[in-house]
């Protein structure tokens, strides 16, 4: 998840109300995590550099708690896309099916890792790469503004490097998504559920064979044995 300064932009329409990009993404990620309880999920955040916020885990409540705490400038102001992909590859579980969702509203402006090179190495390691570009286009941005507001720029997503994100998704055998509104993010979650089916826990059944009669019979025998033993001894005394 991109936490760079541009994620402050309030251009994501949610039922007619303006929301900043990070708030919209937080809601999307929380929904995605909550609906995939069978998956092991890791959370990586990036800006000036990329950081592993949570390793792969099935602790849904912990992941949701971390998602709620995502905030601006937590890790800087720029965008290190390449480092984020590199970190995901380094923490991939071996011999397991893995997908990476890269969420950003900008272009690679920080770090020494080249995004395209890292995407190729991630694909070679068995990671499918999905990219998600966040931000309104000029039309939806104009809808988000009240008549008294003047847009800060004609295209709020001018810094979004869609060409690179599309290329990364192609190299990573995934797909590129574009979210201009909150509704788009919800639709993307549904598409991801189709592309990456939710893991289901395997239930193993074993036949039930009731064994309690055996120890019960043994206990009855031990309790009754002294009584049977004393009765003939009394007769012998007479």
- Interatomic CA distance for residues 172 and 6, integer angstroms: 26
Tens digits of per-residue pLDDT, 94-122? 888 899 999 999 999 998 899 999 999 99
Average pLDDT over every residue of 48-66: 95
The mean per-residue pLDDT over the stretch 173-202 comes to 89
Helix (H, G, I), strand (E, B) or coil at 41: strand
Q: How far apart are CA 68 and CA 89, in angstroms?
A: 25
Mean pLDDT of all residues in 74-100: 92
pLDDT at 141 over 80: no
User: Could you read off the pLDDT of 192-235 as tens digits, one per residue?
Assistant: 999 999 866 544 445 555 565 666 666 666 666 555 545 454 54
Hey, what's the torsion of the CAs at 108, 110, 114, 118, to 10 degrees? -90
C-alpha dihedral sign at 101, 105, 111, 114: positive
List, in sequence order, every residue forming a beta bridge with 178; answer none if it has no partner: 133
What is the model's pLDDT at position 226? Answer: 56
Predicted confidence at residue 165, as pLDDT, reads 98
pTM over 0.75, yes/no: yes
């Amino acid at each position: 998840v991109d936490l760079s300064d541009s994620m402050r932009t309030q251009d994501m329409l949610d039922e007619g109300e303006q929301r900043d990009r990070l708030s919209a993404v937080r809601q999307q990620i929380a929904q995605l995590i909550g609906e995939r309880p069978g998956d092991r999920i890791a959370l990586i955040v990036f800006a000036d550099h990329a950081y592993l916020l949570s390793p792969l885990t099935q602790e849904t409540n912990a992941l949701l708690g971390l998602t709620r705490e995502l905030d601006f400038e937590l890790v800087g102001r720029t965008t290190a896309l390449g480092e984020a992909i590199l970190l995901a590859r380094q923490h991939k579980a071996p011999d397991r099916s893995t997908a990476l969702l890269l969420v950003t509203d900008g272009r690679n402006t920080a770090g020494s890792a080249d995004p395209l090179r890292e995407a190729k190495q991630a694909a070679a390691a068995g990671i499918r790469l999905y990219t998600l570009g966040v931000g309104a286009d000029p039309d939806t941005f104009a809808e988000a503004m009240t008549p008294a507001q003047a847009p800060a720029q004609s295209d709020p997503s001018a810094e979004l490097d869609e060409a690179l994100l599309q290329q990364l998704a192609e190299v990573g055998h995934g797909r590129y998504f574009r979210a201009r509104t909150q509704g788009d993010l919800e639709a993307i979650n549904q598409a991801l559920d189709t592309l990456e089916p939710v893991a289901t826990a395997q239930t193993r059944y074993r036949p039930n064979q009731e064994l309690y009669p055996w120890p019960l019979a043994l206990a009855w025998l031990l309790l009754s044995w002294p009584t049977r033993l004393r009765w003939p001894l009394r007769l012998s005394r007479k």
